[in-house]
């Protein structure tokens, strides 16, 4: 977990004619585990109710009031059932709180030697009743992988970390502000999107014309302190051997303008026009600056692919690691489960084994090599990765996505730009799905295994239509 501590609301279920000591020890156990994991629990205390549990409707009122007081902090709610639990006050507390956050239901298992009335839990059964009531109240919820799981187990710790990732995706996307710099390149109709559908999902798009960015950059002097600081940051970020000094200064000016715009507009991600205005009229590609932003967890997508940036941001929220945007670009020999993922590129440095700054070979022949410095080139490191594509389907008024996992291999290529050979189980099935459903040729990637958390967040809590491809 990175950044500030996640905050979870916690409900300890308790049914009165079951042993009270289970609620008492259950609450202490959950609190200890959450705090050890760096999670701040918001929960009733033994002074508020019987062992700090929910047993009556009066307890539900107290819990709802507590959650309301912390609604700006709480990103999810954990319902823990150390015994059967009273399902009605649990559902009522959530409804009365007004929280609209992910919910995880956990039930503690019975032990064969402790099935008498003194120690019997019946959480196995109670979990079904709680879930039934949540469903009746229209409250979406998530489940642990096993129906019952001990809070002290490694399995529950993994479930908890997964759930926090889900919560972070949902909390981050709701209220996100994506910056779109420039117009969509004329040839890239594939990246059209609906601002209105994104707004309905809580995602705003802030736009700025390239001419305004050019004007801001024109006003900057090479010896300005902000420009010199950004120039030093660029040179410290990646090897720029052979890149003209004038090109580096232009990149620094662009970086300063981007930093200012991000700050004043409170952006969490950007999508930037490149082809070919930036090269023709400013004289560099924006790739290195975009790479630096993505690497510092401010994802930046090229070709004004706003929904591509949304996918990048979703996976970053789940993993705490940088995301990139690439093309589904080439087959790899005759292997049906391998493909070349490529961009020219603005990929974050942390995704590479080795990387350097170079010029953009694809359009250098059109606008001149001297106007295309700034790409980040190299091979992606081998290892697991998650991919995600978000798209707005205007015809049906919905947002949809596909998510999955694969591996970058050690296979080598004689090519340029940023690239990696990806191996994905049943890749041909995925490619058919992409084509038949009209998805874009771009896909966001993240060096993590977070497909399950991203899918849960986007489908169950954001309400998007999501296809989860075969995972490893």
Q: How many residues does the chain have?
A: 472
Per-domain residue ranges of the chain: 7-173, 177-468
Q: What is the mean pLDDT of residues 69-89?
A: 96
pLDDT at 15 over 60: yes
- SS3 percent helix, strand, coil of the chain, rounded to 5, is 40, 25, 35
73-77, 122-126, 359-363: least confident range: 359-363
Q: What is the mean pLDDT of residues 369-383?
A: 96
Give yes or no for a contact between 309 and 270, defined as CB atoms under 8 angstroms apart: yes
CA dihedral 189, 211, 181, 441 (to 10 degrees): 30
Residues 411, 432: Cα–Cα separation, whole Å: 24
177-468 has the same fold as 7-173: no
Give the three-class secondary structure for 408: strand
pLDDT at 390 over 90: yes
pLDDT at 11 over 70: yes
Domain boundaries 7-173, CATH class: alpha beta
pLDDT at 203: 98
pLDDT at 472 over 60: no
Q: What is the mean pLDDT of residues 337-350?
A: 97
Residues 69, 344: Cα–Cα separation, whole Å: 49
- List, for residues 104-136, the tens digit of each pLDDT value: 999 999 989 888 888 889 999 999 999 999 999
- List, for residues 255-296, the tens digit of each pLDDT value: 999 999 999 999 999 999 988 899 999 999 999 999 999 999
**CB count in 10 Å sphere of residue 423:** 17
Q: Which residues of 299-332 are buried (b: 16+ CB within 10 A; e: fewer)?
A: bbbbbbbbbbbbbbbbbbbbbebbbbbbbbeeeb
Residues 349, 368: Cα–Cα separation, whole Å: 26
**Proportion of the chain above pLDDT 90, given as a percent:** 92
pLDDT at 471: 58
Residues 408, 308, 288: CA angle, nearest 5 degrees: 70
pLDDT at 3: 64
CA dihedral 82, 88, 92, 93 (to 10 degrees): -20
**Helix 225-237 and helix 245-265, axial crossing angle in degrees, nearest 10:** 110
State the pLDDT confidence band at 1, using cuts at 50, 70 and 90.
Answer: very low
Lookup: tokens for 349: 């440095």
**Average pLDDT value over all residues in the chain:** 96
Q: Which fold has domain 177-468?
A: L-fucose Isomerase; Chain A, domain 2 (3.40.275)
Strand bridging mode 7-12 / 204-208: unpaired
Residues 456, 128: Cα–Cα separation, whole Å: 20
């Amino acid at each position: 977990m990175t950044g500030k501590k996640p905050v979870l609301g916690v409900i300890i279920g308790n049914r009165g004619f079951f042993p009270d000591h289970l609620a008492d020890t259950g609450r202490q156990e959950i609190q200890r585990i959450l705090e050890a994991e760096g999670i701040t629990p918001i929960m009733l205390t033994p002074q508020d109710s019987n062992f700090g549990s929910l047993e009556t409707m009066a307890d539900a009122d107290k819990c709802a009031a507590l959650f309301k007081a912390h609604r700006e902090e709480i990103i999810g709610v954990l319902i823990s059932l150390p015994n059967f639990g009273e399902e009605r006050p649990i559902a009522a507390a959530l409804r009365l709180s007004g929280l609209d956050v992910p919910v995880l239901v956990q039930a503690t298992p019975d032990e064969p030697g402790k099935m008498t009335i003194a120690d019997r839990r019946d959480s196995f059964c109670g979990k079904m009743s709680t879930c039934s009531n949540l469903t009746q109240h229209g409250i979406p919820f998530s489940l642990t992988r096993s129906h019952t799981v001990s809070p002290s187990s490694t399995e529950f710790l993994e479930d908890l970390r997964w759930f926090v990732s889900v919560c972070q995706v949902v909390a981050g996307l709701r209220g996100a502000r994506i910056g779109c710099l420039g117009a969509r390149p004329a040839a890239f109709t594939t990246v059209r999107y609906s601002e209105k559908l994104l707004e309905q999902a809580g995602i705003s798009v802030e736009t700025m014309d390239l001419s305004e960015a050019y004007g801001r950059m024109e006003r900057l002097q090479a010896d300005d302190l902000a420009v010199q600081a950004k120039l030093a940051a660029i040179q410290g970020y990646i090897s720029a051997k052979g890149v003209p000094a004038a090109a580096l200064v232009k990149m620094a000016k662009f970086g300063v303008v981007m930093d200012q715009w991000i700050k004043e507009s409170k952006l969490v991600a950007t999508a930037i026009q490149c082809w070919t205005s930036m090269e023709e009229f400013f004289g560099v590609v924006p790739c290195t600056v975009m790479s630096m932003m993505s690497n510092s967890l401010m994802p930046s997508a090229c070709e004004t692919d706003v929904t591509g940036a949304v996918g990048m941001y979703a996976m970053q929220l789940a993993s705490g690691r940088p995301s990139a945007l690439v093309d589904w670009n080439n087959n790899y020999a005759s292997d049906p489960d391998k493909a070349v993922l490529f961009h020219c590129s603005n990929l974050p440095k942390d995704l590479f084994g080795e990387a350097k700054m170079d010029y953009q070979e694809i359009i250098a022949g059109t606008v001149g090599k001297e106007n295309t410095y700034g790409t980040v080139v190299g091979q992606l490191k081998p290892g697991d990765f998650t991919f995600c594509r978000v798209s707005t389907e205007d015809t049906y008024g919905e947002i949809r996505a596909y998510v999955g996992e694969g591996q970058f291999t050690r296979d080598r290529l004689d090519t340029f730009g940023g690239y990696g050979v990806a191996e994905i189980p049943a890749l041909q099935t995925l490619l058919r799905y992409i084509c038949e459903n009209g998805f874009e040729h771009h896909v966001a990637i993240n060096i993590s295994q977070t497909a399950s958390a991203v899918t849960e967040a986007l489908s169950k809590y954001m309400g998007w239509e999501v296809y989860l491809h075969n995972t490893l």
